[in-house]
Amino acid sequence: MCGIAGRILGKTGDVGTDLVDLMDAQAHRGSDSTGFAVYGPPRESGFVVRAMGFNRAMLGQDLDDFHHILKEHGADFLENPTWDASTDKHYSVRMVISEPLSVARWIHEADTICTRFEVQSVGKSLEIIKDDGDAATVAEKHHVRGMIGTHGLGHARLATESAVRPNASHPFWARPFPDVAIVHNGQITDYYNWCQRLERQGYRFLTQNDSELIAVWVSDQISKGLTLQEALSLSIKQIDGVFTYMIADLNGIGFAKDRFAMKPLATIQQDGAFCAATEEQALRRVYPQKMKIINYDGPSITGIWGHGEQAA
């Protein structure tokens, strides 16, 4: 049991606040860890990178090594990196970089130091913030309520099949596809088989979390020519398990639900804005007034919501 949420605003606004409220209302679904994928105003050039280091004492060395690899791929910091001010052993870093010659090749090499410094998102717009603890704890530590943007995802994790570690939290970035992130409620039972197949194609998975697969799986299908809608539908047929997942990119949010209809999803759609959550009571934090709720309780359902439009 985990809790997931998605939010699309009709325009740029306080999406961080809404995501925190949505996840705070679902903290009981899993307070092992909480995470947010926030899509801020897209940059015209360069990327925002979010990363996590696992030993704060190594912060300086980690950034030097990361910077060195970045420069080898034709890019550099555009702003000085910033990091959280906690005393936790692990730390989270935000960096703004110019564009590497190849994101895939750069990330492949940057991941050679992933056991001590793990890149968690790369995007023109996407920033993934995740950590141990419930929504209120993570939001306060990483100032999520202050983040503005157009849309985003949230996740509260009840760990079942992999370790409780800050980097095994959701959302997961679709390594190495910029600006693609997922949140997932459920279990993927053929995770290892699919990971092995994708690893043979050159993809890399950094955690033992089954959800990490989905983002890469969908993005891989799209890179081979499928539309997002086609990839979502195919995932229901090809990925085994019980799941409701949401995947976001620069344009909006899509979701898919398994054949067994085991995991809920309730939504409110109004005037180009959209709000989704595992539990309806979470939606009421954002829309306390009486609103029409659309429940996607049935099996084998997909949908896509973009800015100002709906195509479920």
Partner 1 sequence: MSRYVIEVGNRPIKEVNEDIQAAAKTHRALLIRNTLSRHNLGIGLPKGVDVAFEGSVGYYCGGLNNGATITVEDDAGWGVGEGMDAGHITVGGYAGMSAGAAMRGGLIHIRGDAGPRIGVAMKGGNIIVEGKIGSQAGFMSHAGKIIALGGAGASCADALWQGEVWVAGEIEGLGVDAKVVEPTAEQVAEVDALLEPLGLVDSSRNWRRIISGQRLWYFESRDANAWLMI
Enumerate binding residues for partner 1 (CB under 8 A): 259-261, 264, 279-281, 283-284, 288, 290, 293, 295, 297-299
Strands 149-157 vs 273-277: parallel, antiparallel or unpaired: unpaired
CB of 261 to partner 1, least distance (A): 5
CB of 214 to partner 1, least distance (A): 20
**C-beta of 17 vs 61, nearer to partner 1:** 17
CB of 236 to partner 1, least distance (A): 11
**C-beta of 65 vs 240, nearer to partner 1:** 240
User: What is the residue type of 162?
Assistant: S
CB of 294 to partner 1, least distance (A): 9
- Short-list 48, 58, 192, 195, CA closest to 121: 48
**C-beta of 215 vs 282, nearer to partner 1:** 282
CB of 300 to partner 1, least distance (A): 9
Measure the CA–CA gap between 210 and 195, rounded to whole angstroms. Answer: 9
CB of 225 to partner 1, least distance (A): 28
**C-beta of 206 vs 261, nearer to partner 1:** 261
**C-beta of 83 vs 287, nearer to partner 1:** 287
**C-beta of 1 vs 250, nearer to partner 1:** 1
286 CA to centre of own chain: 20
CB of 122 to partner 1, least distance (A): 37
At 268 the three-state DSSP class reads strand
CB of 285 to partner 1, least distance (A): 8
Residue 187 main-chain phi, psi, to 5 deg: -135, 135
Segments of the chain assigned E as strands = 3-13, 33-39, 47-53, 82-83, 91-97, 117-123, 126-132, 149-157, 172-173, 181-188, 241-249, 252-257, 266-270, 273-277, 294-295, 302-306, 309-310
Residues 154, 135 contacting (CB under 8 angstroms): yes
**C-beta of 121 vs 278, nearer to partner 1:** 278
183: β partners: 246
Burial 176-194 (b: 16+ CB within 10 A, else e): bbbbbbbbbbbbbeebeeb
Measure the CA–CA gap between 40 and 181, rounded to whole angstroms. Answer: 14
34: β partners: 131, 156
**C-beta of 102 vs 295, nearer to partner 1:** 295
